């Protein structure tokens, strides 16, 4: 896959998340956190590849362009050599639910997660990360909560899991930083 317009923004945002340890690699070698940006006004979006959490800087080869998806079949098609993040359909569910959303951040923040659990829009505890159910759960939250205006949600079934979004990555990042500063003791 070739380079894309928002790659520099994506790397800048990732660096800040890495510095804050909101994205990275656990001691067991498992990476966490992923970012995506919508491709213009289309349904397609660019998302960081699986197992890229430890990389300080991503190249186009570390990302994929998700071009089509089907929630019911838990299926997607993509362009690129990387393996799309296992949470790609969660990102897709946000783009489907909010046409003004053009960037999504999924990070891990244990303190913020504990503070916001059931106070901010929260996905069901019964729904695990990276499942088809999670995309339906996200779409349900858009119908039943104020997630569209708050631009943040908590994944009860995925410890530490936070998702923010906005009209660009800077926006989504600011939502996250604001929530952290408001919840700081």
| Residues between 22 and 51 with contacts to Zn ion, criterion CB under 5 A | 32
| Integer Cα distance of 5 and 3 in angstroms | 7
Output Rg (C-alpha) for the chain, integer angstroms. 15
| Residue 47 Cβ vs Zn ion, minimum distance, rounded to whole Å | 13
| Residue 129 Cβ vs Zn ion, minimum distance, rounded to whole Å | 6
Residues contacting Zn ion: total by CB under 5 A: 2
| Residues between 116 and 175 with contacts to Zn ion, criterion CB under 5 A | 161
| Integer Cα distance of 54 and 30 in angstroms | 9
Residue nearest to Zn ion (CB): 161
Nearer to Zn ion (CB atom), residue 45 or residue 113:
113
Nearer to Zn ion (CB atom), residue 80 or residue 161:
161
Per residue in 38-57, is it b (16+ CB within 10 Å) or e — as a string? bbeeeebbbbbbbbbbebee
- Give the interface with Zn ion as residue ranges (CB under 5 A): 32, 161
């Amino acid at each position: 896959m070739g380079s894309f317009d928002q790659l520099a923004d994506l790397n800048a945002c990732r660096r800040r998340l890495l510095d804050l340890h909101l994205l990275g690699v656990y001691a067991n070698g498992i990476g966490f956190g992923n970012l995506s940006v919508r491709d213009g006004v289309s349904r397609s979006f660019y998302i960081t590849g699986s197992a890229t959490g430890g990389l300080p800087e991503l190249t186009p080869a570390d990302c994929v362009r998700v071009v089509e998806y089907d929630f019911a079949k838990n299926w997607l098609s993509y362009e690129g050599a990387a393996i799309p993040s296992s949470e790609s359909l969660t990102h897709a569910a946000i783009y489907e639910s909010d046409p003004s959303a053009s960037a999504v951040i999924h990070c891990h923040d244990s303190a913020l997660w504990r503070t916001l659990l059931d106070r901010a829009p929260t996905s069901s505890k019964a729904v695990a990360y990276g499942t088809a159910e999670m995309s339906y759960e996200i779409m349900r939250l858009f119908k039943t909560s104020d997630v569209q205006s708050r631009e943040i949600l908590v994944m009860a079934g995925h410890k530490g899991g936070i998702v923010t979004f906005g009209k660009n990555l800077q926006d989504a990042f600011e939502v996250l930083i604001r929530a952290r500063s408001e919840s700081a003791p």
